[in-house]
Amino acid sequence: MNRARYLRAPLIVLTLAMFLLPPLWLLASSLKSSKAIFAWPPQLLPTSPTLENFRAAISQDNFGLYFQNSLFVAVASAALSVLISLMAGYALAKFRFKGETVIFLIIMSALMIPLQIILIPIFIILKELHLLNTLWGLILAPAATPTGVFIMRQYIRSIPDSLLEAARIDGTPEWRIFLRIIVPLSIPAIAALAAFTFVWRWNDYLWPYLLITDQSKWTVQLALANNVGQWDINWPRLLAMSVLSVIPTLVLFISLQRYFMSGLLSGATKE
């Protein structure tokens, strides 16, 4: 017992160091000059911090446009994914119909299918819909996810049926029950799913790489990859761009962190 107590503090410090050192190193290196980044012995903190790398990153051609494209794709994907998952989760959680369990199992089985297997069929569908090389192609392809449906179904199951039955007895239409009862009571799950979907789409590289060929429709991740040249890499500018690309997801997680645990776990803890 005592030995476990003595080991707890070093393990906590070691775990925190493993998670915090990479982003701290990234931030510190983005404030260094090119010469200081490769100095030996290496220094964690910059001796002469400079914002020149951030000026170079922001002034790079179309970086603001790439940022805007990523923001549009991530926000629209999160909104669409939440809407679809919320409606599907409500139907699977509160309605009893023939084949309900089978449909849910089919949706869940999609979790075991690797993305690489369905890339070609989805690519062909998007081509037939003339959505290649468009931002809406990036948004619509991953709009409905089994993970989102599972999270919303589990959370909505925790909402008491008596609330819905009372509203139905009063003659409330089903769409009003959905908007006035289900949506407000599902805010923690909605916030958690929206945050995770935003981060998935913001950090996505494979789909934009496959679908987008027009440089004016690049996302931030494509812009970062494009800064890795075959013979040379501008490390200070690349590190500054990486720091800038992290800011939206960091702000989102900090602002919604109070919803995460309640949104993901309440379905497992409530009746």
Question: Whole-model pTM?
Answer: 0.83
Q: What is the pLDDT of residue 69?
A: 93
Q: What is the pLDDT of residue 135?
A: 92
- Which two tokens mark 108? 């869940």
Q: What is the pLDDT of residue 269?
A: 47
Cα–Cα dist 13/15, whole Å = 5
The Cα diameter of the chain in Å comes to 75
Cα–Cα dist 53/231, whole Å = 20
Cα–Cα dist 141/164, whole Å = 33
If we measure between CA atoms, which residue out of 147, 142, 133, 261 comes closest to residue 202? Answer: 142
Q: What is the pLDDT of residue 264?
A: 59
Q: How far is residue 214 from each of residues 126, 161, 218, measured CA to CA in Å?
A: 16, 50, 7
Cα–Cα dist 12/18, whole Å = 10
Q: What is the pLDDT of residue 77?
A: 94
Cα–Cα dist 238/32, whole Å = 12
Its CATH architecture, for the domain 49-269, is Orthogonal Bundle (1.10)
pLDDT band at residue 16, thresholds of 50, 70 and 90? confident
Q: What is the pLDDT of residue 68?
A: 93
Q: What is the mean pLDDT of residues 17-46?
A: 84
Q: What is the mean pLDDT of residues 69-91?
A: 93
pLDDT tens digits, one per residue of 186-228 = 988 898 899 889 989 999 998 899 899 888 899 999 988 888 7
For residue 228, what are the β-bridge partners?
233
Q: What is the pLDDT of residue 120?
A: 87
Q: How far is residue 177 from each of residues 80, 160, 169, 173, measured CA to CA in Å?
A: 20, 13, 12, 6
Q: Is the pLDDT of residue 271 over 60?
A: no
Whether residue 243 contacts residue 26, with contact meaning beta carbons closer than 8 Å, is answered with: yes
